[in-house]
């Protein structure tokens, strides 16, 4: 299943967003595994045409993460810790809420993301998440609902 998920994500990275979204949504319906569902929802959110649909998938990712254990995640990768997933999930929610003008919800998820940032390593992934947090924080302070710059 993870190979199929990775393949669908690759379609999106290659520019075929519709095919990637369709495949990930199909895979969502084929699994109940929290690791698979969290991964699918996290990536399919970014492939949505509307911020409201993106928010719905981001909420699904966070909800499924509550059912995901470190033990299950480490069956796929021994270094995985569920708490280390949460900052990214909360930042996605914070950004979607910000773009929809839901300022209080955006701040709530930004604060939730901060709670687990200490688990992130000082590597490319950790820097990506910390940089994303600062971009969202800055956009909120400016009252912007525009998409974040790349």
Q: How far apart are CA 148 and CA 117, in angstroms?
A: 20
Q: What DSSP character marks residue 33?
A: -
Cβ partners under 8 Å of residue 148, min gap 6:
95, 132, 135, 136, 139
Residue of 78 and 14 predicted with greater confidence: 14
User: Has residue 150 got a pLDDT over 90?
Assistant: no
pLDDT for residue 44: 97
DSSP H helices, the chain, are 2-13, 17-28, 34-45, 51-65, 70-76, 82-99, 103-115, 124-142
pLDDT for residue 78: 85
Residue 84 φ/ψ, nearest 5 degrees? -75, -15
Q: How confident is the model at residue 3 (pLDDT cuts 50, 70, 90)?
A: very high
Give the pLDDT confidence of 18-54 residue by residue, as tens digits. Answer: 999 999 999 999 999 999 999 999 999 999 999 999 9
pLDDT for residue 29: 97
pLDDT for residue 15: 95
Q: How far apart are CA 108 and CA 131, in angstroms?
A: 18
Distances 138 to 50, 106, 118, 121 between C-alpha atoms, Å = 22, 12, 20, 23
pLDDT for residue 56: 98
Give the pLDDT confidence of 68-125 residue by residue, as tens digits. Answer: 999 999 998 888 888 888 999 999 999 999 999 999 999 999 999 999 998 898 999 9
Q: How confident is the model at residue 128 (pLDDT cuts 50, 70, 90)?
A: very high
């Amino acid at each position: 299943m993870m190979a199929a998920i990775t393949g669908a994500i690759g379609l999106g990275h290659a520019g075929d967003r519709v095919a990637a979204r369709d495949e990930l949504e199909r895979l969502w319906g084929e699994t109940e595994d929290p690791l698979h569902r969290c991964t699918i929802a996290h990536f399919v959110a970014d492939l949505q045409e509307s911020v409201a649909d993106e928010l719905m998938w981001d909420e699904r990712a966070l909800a499924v993460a509550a059912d995901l254990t470190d033990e299950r995640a480490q069956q796929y990768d021994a270094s995985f810790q569920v708490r280390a997933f949460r900052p990214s999930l909360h930042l996605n929610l914070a950004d979607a809420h910000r773009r929809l003008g839901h300022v209080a919800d955006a701040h709530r998820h930004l604060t939730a993301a901060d709670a687990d940032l200490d688990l992130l390593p000082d590597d490319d992934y950790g820097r990506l998440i910390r940089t994303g947090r600062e971009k969202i924080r800055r956009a909120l302070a400016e009252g912007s609902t525009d998409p974040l710059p790349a």
